[in-house]
């Protein structure tokens, strides 16, 4: 099997045997050349097309895909910019009404998730049994996050509670259900109609909850992490650390202009 030139150039050979296409060779080559994770997985996929099954290299240990899955190789995925709705954009969306029922429903569900941080799967799975009285006597959402199976405990804020009352019915599910793809398609229509230039997706509601609703209201990162259902604080810090830095900068500017 012939490999790409950029992978084997250090070997000074045109071809490598399967034995040499092992965990050690591939990991050293990729790491030495600082290959982006997307390109790594693309190259691995190319290998698997040519060789359907090589779960074990001949004497070379686990091959690259198994190594990544097992955590033997740490790949830097990079930190993407967190895109969320500003306070003004969120208010504009909340005040918007639509004659087309499907758009009104999607708008309400999106806003609901802006005030709860629920991922799409949790939103469409939300039932009456998930609303319970908390330690403070107020209504809370109590359910497992499907991605991590971690228990979620989220206070039901007044704006979220108002939306649940709007769609109250005898159905066990609290919100109308649609597919994620259709949901995001309708959000694009909504964004165009209300003048939001950002690409709205359901996941942006979760980010808006973490930033505009929580961090911008001085909720500590540890509590944000807990409300999002992250299993590690480091996950939250990696995603939203720059938001804190920006907020600190804004506060310092306010003090200087004082």
Query: Percent of the chain beyond pLDDT 70?
Result: 69
- Phi and psi based region of residue 12 (left: phi greater than 0; alpha: psi -120 to 50; beta: remaining): left
Tokens 């090589």 -> residue: 54
- Phi and psi based region of residue 218 (left: phi greater than 0; alpha: psi -120 to 50; beta: remaining): left
Closest CA to 198 of 111, 95, 103, 84: 84
Query: Percent of the chain beyond pLDDT 90?
Result: 58
Above 80 in pLDDT, residue 59? no
Radius of gyration over every alpha carbon of the chain, rounded to an integer in angstroms: 24
Above 80 in pLDDT, residue 23? no
Above 90 in pLDDT, residue 62? no
Q: What is the pLDDT of residues 234-244, one digit of tens each?
A: 999 999 988 88
For residues 57 and 47, give the distance between their C-alpha atoms in angstroms, rounded to a whole number.
Answer: 13
pLDDT of 195 reads 97
- The whole-number average pLDDT for the span 59-64 is 44
Q: Which helix (H) or strand (E) holds 164?
A: helix 158-166
Q: What is the pTM of this model?
A: 0.69
pLDDT of 248 reads 79
Please report which confidence band the pLDDT of residue 246 belongs to, taking 50, 70 and 90 as the band edges. Answer: confident
Please report which confidence band the pLDDT of residue 100 belongs to, taking 50, 70 and 90 as the band edges. Answer: very high
For residues 45 and 55, give the distance between their C-alpha atoms in angstroms, rounded to a whole number.
Answer: 13
The superfamily CATH assigns to domain 87-257 is Intergrase catalytic core (1.10.443.10)
Q: What is the pLDDT of residues 122-164, one digit of tens each?
A: 999 999 999 999 999 999 999 999 888 899 999 999 999 999 9
Lowest mean pLDDT among 49-53, 85-89, 130-134, 238-242: 49-53
Q: Which helix (H) or strand (E) holds 200?
A: none
Q: What is the pLDDT of residues 201-236, one digit of tens each?
A: 999 999 999 999 999 999 999 999 999 999 999 999
- All structural domains of the chain with their residue ranges: 5-69, 87-257
Q: How far is CA 87 from CA 92, 120, 231, in A?
A: 9, 22, 28
């Amino acid at each position: 099997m012939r490999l790409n030139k950029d992978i084997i150039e250090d070997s000074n050979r045109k071809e490598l045997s399967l034995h040499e296409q092992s965990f050690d060779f591939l990991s050293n080559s990729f790491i030495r050349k600082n290959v982006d994770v997307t390109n790594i997985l693309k190259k691995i996929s190319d290998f698997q097309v040519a060789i359907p099954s090589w779960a074990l290299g001949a004497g070379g240990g686990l091959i690259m895909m198994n190594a990544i899955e097992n955590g033997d190789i740490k790949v830097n995925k990079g930190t993407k910019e967190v895109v969320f709705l500003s306070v003004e954009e969120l208010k504009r969306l909340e005040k918007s009404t639509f004659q087309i029922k499907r758009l009104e429903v999607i708008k309400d569900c999106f806003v609901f998730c802006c005030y709860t941080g629920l991922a799409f799967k949790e939103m469409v799975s939300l039932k009456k049994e998930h609303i319970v009285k908390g330690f403070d006597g107020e209504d809370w959402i109590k359910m497992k996050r499907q991605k991590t199976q971690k228990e979620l405990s989220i206070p039901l804020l007044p704006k979220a509670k108002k939306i649940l009352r709007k769609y109250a019915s005898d159905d066990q599910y609290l919100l109308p259900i649609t597919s994620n793809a259709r949901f995001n398609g309708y959000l694009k229509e909504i964004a165009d109609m209300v003048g939001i230039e950002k690409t709205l997706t359901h996941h942006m509601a979760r980010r808006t909850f973490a930033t505009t609703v929580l961090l911008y209201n001085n909720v500590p990162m540890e509590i944000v992490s807990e409300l999002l259902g992250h299993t590690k604080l480091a996950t939250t810090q990696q995603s939203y650390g720059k938001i804190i830095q920006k907020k600190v900068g804004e506060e310092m500017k306010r003090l200087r202009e004082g």
